[in-house]
């Protein structure tokens, strides 16, 4: 009997496992690093903190060249409401505020800090004790602390969390959904967070729930992580927290906001809308942990859990890595880049980006370093579209990818609008399922950009 | 046999009835069009390149007929001769306000020998897709991607990717300066510049805005903004902005001092007789 059926029988009775209704793919999960306990990496040399590592206006630096900073010190201030603070992830001296090449090789403004020791700002509680008393904290305090700590959505979009916690006028979030689906193959950082800091993450979720004044809260986890489901349920039962774990059928892209709202709450997010239009707010489990640390421990967002994995990786590693550490340093620390590597992907294999510059620093949302062996690295040769409509069946947003790319290639941008190109979530299911290997998503992205203008 | 007769008769009847209907409709709803539009359109090159700023040749012809003067109506492909003919046909004065003859110029000299490939691009063969994804397969984020978006939009076959350099070559005799390639290049490398007397011109074949050292490491033919050219120029034609030099073709007198000064060879000259033939 598989673990899968086992979970179904013992824990959830006859109830069908929930998931979203249309499209999706089922890539092999390959969670190679699942059993590796999280290690901590203290960087050496220099770290570079990008000023624009979130959605919205880039932050404005508040430190100058030659200034000494301690770990956790504010180094760049949010520029407006939709923006986020940036804190020094190390202690040391500011070398410069200058353009640094990012993952794609483009030079973006960043604060470069020379690491000297690891001295923390006063007021940051670094003890491992769990501070589970949240009775005295009100919503405004939580939102202020989250905003001060520079927390952004760690699921990948890097949307400033305090903005998400302040729904627009007239809209109210009834449901808070904590996204722990981790549907991307290979990634195990959220899984390790749940196993190792499960209670802290749950307290963070409860803080988020209070900030939103939401009557109900759920944690959505895919069933390929049974230990995480059991572990969180055990904590919730023992401590009597008012949050529910919802096991989800394994399916990509379950961790996408709109799909998750449908899977967990059974409500559809309208086209062009936000989850709050369906009365829900989705936050990643990593974000929940960061919120706990910010509110209860005064620790700003300066590190995150990164999975370093790949079929031929010397060591499968999950590591707490300081923001701004160069990827090359992390790779060397974790045992080096395997010799048969053809491509390094930053993030999961479905939505991650190929690394063009291995010396690029990490950002707050960096989730993984994935080594793809030479033989799997290249795309297979593209052939002609045979109108098999597999992309249509795979699209979780109900779009027609084959049509969208033809319209983009022909420059018929006005028709892209009528075919709802703007709804594309860039999950890559179409590309994954295409037997002709047509670069569908590449062109849809171009189309999306064209209609934005 | 019967079936054949029935179908032939039915279809013939249908054809007659429908032809009649079409004739009636054509008479009833006939739109009186200005006949001159067709005449003007016949004079135009008819490639619908859009270089004039209108949707195509027909749109330009309509504008030429409807507008009181010929101002703003100019076909860069046909040039002054065609516009004179159009003005004469329409009896309008002030036609051929012919701008100087222009030419598309690719401002990148980073061929395979000077600009090494540092990674392998494996995505869709389109400059736009590649540019949206990342800096490109060399360390220069500004240089030519070499996938030929400009070649595909050229209606005159004036552009082709040179397999030796993987940069686009412009065939000066075919280029009509319609500007389609300028709009197609996602990196903004192509510029319309003055053709120059006898086709002679000097330009900076680089737009790399990185600092000198970074630019030089990425590409041996990059402009490093050393301002040598600016110092030697007697006509203030050279400006240096964002770490890259630019020669203003309205001021340049083609004295040919700057190309020799350039340490990387980013300043290119074209159309001059080969050295040694002078005098």
pLDDT in tens, A205-226: 999 999 999 999 999 999 999 9
Could you tell me where the DSSP H helices lie in A117-224?
139-148, 161-164, 189-196, 198-212
pLDDT of residue B63: 87
Q: What is the pLDDT of residue A58?
A: 94
Contact across the interface for B124 and A439, Cβ inside 8 Å: yes
Residue B95 has a pLDDT of: 55
**Do residue A445 and residue B139 have CB atoms under 8 angstroms apart?**
no
Residue B200 in this model has a pLDDT that exceeds 90:
no
A104–B134: do the CB atoms touch at under 8 Å? yes
Alpha helices by DSSP H, chain B? 2-28, 35-43, 57-66, 79-90, 127-133, 149-153, 180-184, 212-218, 228-232, 258-261
Q: What average pLDDT score do residues A345-354 get?
A: 92
| Mean pLDDT taken over chain B | 87
Position A412 scores a pLDDT of 86
Q: What is the pLDDT of residues A224-234, one digit of tens each?
A: 999 999 999 99
What pLDDT, on a 0 to 100 scale, did the predictor assign at position A225? Answer: 93
Distance from chain centroid for Cα A256:
10
pLDDT score for A391: 95
Torsion B102-B103-B109-B110 (CA) sign? positive
Asked if the Cβ–Cβ distance from A105 to B134 is below 8 Å, we say yes
pLDDT value for B278: 43
Of A224, A173, A228, the C-alpha closest to A201 is: A228
Read off the pLDDT of residues A324-336 as tens digits, 9 standing for 90 and up: 999 999 999 999 9
Q: What is the mean pLDDT of residues B107-117?
A: 89
Query: What is the pLDDT, as a whole number, of residue B49?
Result: 83
Q: Which residues of B95-116 are buried (b: 16+ CB within 10 A; e: fewer)?
A: bbeeeeebbbbbbbbbbeebbe
Average pLDDT of every residue of chain A: 91
Distances (CA, A) of A453 to A138, A227, A403, A414, A446: 41, 46, 20, 11, 11
- Unique residue bearing structure tokens 């109210």: A172
pLDDT at residue A1 above 60? no
Distance CA A173, CA A278 (A): 8
Residue A372: φ, ψ to 5°: -105, 125
Distance (Å) of CA A109 to CA A201, A356, B209: 32, 18, 14
pLDDT in tens, A20-40: 999 999 999 899 999 999 999
Q: Which residues of B touch A439 (CB under 8 A)?
A: 123-124, 129
Predicted confidence band at B197 (pLDDT cuts at 50, 70, 90)?
A: confident
pLDDT at A15: 64
Give the pLDDT confidence score for residue B94 in this predicted structure. 59
Chain A residues touching B141 at Cβ < 8 A: 105-107
Question: Which residue numbers of B have CB closer than 8 Å to A's CBs?
Answer: 119-120, 122-124, 126, 128-129, 132-136, 139, 141, 210
The lowest-confidence range among A300-309, B12-21, B100-109 is B100-109
Measured in angstroms, the CA of B160 and the nearest CA of chain A are apart by 20
Is the confidence at residue A133, as pLDDT, over 90?
no
Q: Chain B residues with CB inside 8 Å of A105's CB? A: 134-136, 139, 141
pLDDT score of B75: 84
Q: What is the pLDDT of residue B279?
A: 38
Cα–Cα distance for residue pair A144/A137, rounded to 1 Å: 11
Residue at token pair 């690891």: A118
**pLDDT at B275 exceeding the cut of 70:** no
Which residues, including other chains, have CB under 8 Å from residue A211's CB and lie 6 or more apart? Answer: A139, A142, A143, A146, A165
Q: Assess whether pLDDT exceeds 80 at residue B60.
A: yes
Average pLDDT over residues B101-129: 88
**B69 vs A425, more confident:** A425
> For A62-93, how does the pLDDT look when each residue is reduced to its tens digit (9 = 90+)?
999 999 999 999 999 999 999 999 999 999 99
pLDDT of B176? 85
For chain A, report the end-to-end CA distance as a whole number of angstroms.
Answer: 54
Contacts of B84 (CB under 8 A, 6+ apart): B95, B96
Q: DSSP letter at A168?
A: P
What are the tokens at A211?
Answer: 């900030």
At A3 the pLDDT is 53
Q: Do A198 and A235 meet the contact criterion of CB atoms below 8 Å apart?
A: yes
How much is the average pLDDT of A327-354?
93
Which residues of A touch chain B, with CB atoms under 8 Å apart?
101, 103-107, 353-354, 356-357, 377-379, 382, 439, 442-443, 445-446, 449
Looking at A230-234, A378-382, B95-99, which range is the least confident one?
B95-99
pLDDT in tens, A150-164: 999 998 889 999 999
d(CA A404, CA A409): 9
């Amino acid at each position: 009997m598989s673990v899968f059926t086992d979970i179904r029988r013992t824990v959830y009775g006859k109830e069908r496992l929930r998931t979203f209704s249309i499209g999706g793919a089922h890539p092999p999960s390959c969670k190679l690093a699942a059993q590796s306990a999280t290690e901590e990496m203290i960087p050496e040399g220099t770290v570079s903190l990008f000023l624009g590592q979130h959605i919205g206006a880039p932050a404005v630096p508040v430190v100058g060249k030659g200034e000494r900073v301690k770990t956790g010190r504010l180094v760049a201030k949010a520029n407006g409401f939709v923006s986020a603070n940036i804190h020094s992830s190390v202690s040391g001296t500011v070398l410069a505020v200058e353009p640094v090449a990012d993952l794609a090789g483009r030079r973006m403004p960043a604060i470069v800090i020379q690491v000297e020791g690891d001295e923390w700002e006063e007021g940051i509680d670094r003890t491992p004790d769990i501070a589970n008393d949240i009775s005295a904290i009100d919503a405004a305090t939580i939102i202020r602390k989250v905003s001060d700590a520079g927390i952004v959505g760690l699921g990948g979009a890097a949307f400033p969390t305090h903005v998400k916690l302040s729904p627009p006028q007239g809209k109210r979030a009834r449901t808070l959904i904590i996204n722990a689906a981790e549907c991307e193959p290979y990634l195990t950082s959220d899984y390790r967070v749940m196993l190792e800091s499960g209670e802290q993450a749950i307290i963070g979720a409860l803080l988020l729930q209070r900030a939103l004044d939401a009557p109900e809260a759920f944690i959505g986890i895919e069933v390929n992580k049974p230990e995480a489901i059991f572990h969180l349920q055990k904590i919730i039962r023992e401590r009597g927290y008012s949050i529910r774990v919802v096991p989800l059928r394994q399916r990509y892209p379950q961790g996408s906001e709109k799909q998750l709202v449908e899977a967990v709450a059974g409500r559809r997010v309208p086209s062009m809308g936000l989850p709050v239009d369906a009365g829900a707010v989705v936050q990643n489990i990593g974000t929940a942990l960061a919120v706990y640390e910010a509110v209860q421990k005064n620790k700003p967002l300066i590190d995150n859990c990164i999975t370093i994995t790949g079929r031929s990786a010397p060591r499968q590693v999950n590591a707490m890595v300081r923001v701004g550490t160069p990827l090359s340093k992390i790779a060397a620390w974790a045992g080096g880049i395997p010799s048969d590597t053809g491509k390094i992907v930053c993030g999961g294999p479905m939505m991650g980006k190929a690394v063009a510059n291995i010396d690029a620093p990490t950002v707050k949302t960096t989730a993984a370093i994935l080594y793809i062996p030479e033989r799997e690295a290249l795309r297979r040769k593209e052939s002609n579209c045979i109108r098999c409509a597999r992309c249509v069946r795979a699209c979780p947003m109900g779009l027609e990818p084959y049509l969208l790319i033809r319209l983009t290639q022909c420059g018929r941008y006005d028709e892209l609008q009528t075919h709802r190109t703007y709804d594309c979530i860039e999950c890559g299911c179409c590309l994954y399922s295409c037997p002709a290997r047509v670069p569908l998503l590449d062109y849809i992205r171009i189309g999306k950009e064209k209609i934005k203008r | 046999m019967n079936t054949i007769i029935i179908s032939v008769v039915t279809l013939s009847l249908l054809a007659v009835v429908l032809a009649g209907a079409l004739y009636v409709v054509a008479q009833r709803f006939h739109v009186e069009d200005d006949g001159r539009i067709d005449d003007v359109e016949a004079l135009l090159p008819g490639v619908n390149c859009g270089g004039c700023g209108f949707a195509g040749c027909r749109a330009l012809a309509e504008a030429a007929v409807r507008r009181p003067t010929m101002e703003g109506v100019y076909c860069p492909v046909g040039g002054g001769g065609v516009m004179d003919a159009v003005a004469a046909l329409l009896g309008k004065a002030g036609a051929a306000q012919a701008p100087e003859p222009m030419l598309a110029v690719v401002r990148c000299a980073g061929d395979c020998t000077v600009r090494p490939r540092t990674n392998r691009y494996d995505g869709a063969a389109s400059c736009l897709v590649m540019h949206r994804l990342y800096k490109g397969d060399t360390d220069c984020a500004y240089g030519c991607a070499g996938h030929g978006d400009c070649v595909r939009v050229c209606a005159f076959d004036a552009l082709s990717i040179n397999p030796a350099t993987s940069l686009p070559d412009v065939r000066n005799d075919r280029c009509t300066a319609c500007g389609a390639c300028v709009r197609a290049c996602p990196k903004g490398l192509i510029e319309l510049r003055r053709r120059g007397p006898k086709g002679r011109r000097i330009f900076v074949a680089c737009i790399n805005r990185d600092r000198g050292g970074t630019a030089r490491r990425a590409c041996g033919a990059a402009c490093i903004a050393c301002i040598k050219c600016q110092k030697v120029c007697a006509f203030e034609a050279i400006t240096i902005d964002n770490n890259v030099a630019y020669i203003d073709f309205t001021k340049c007198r083609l004295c040919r001092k700057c190309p020799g000064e350039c340490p990387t060879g980013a300043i290119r000259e074209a159309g001059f007789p080969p050295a040694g033939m002078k005098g």
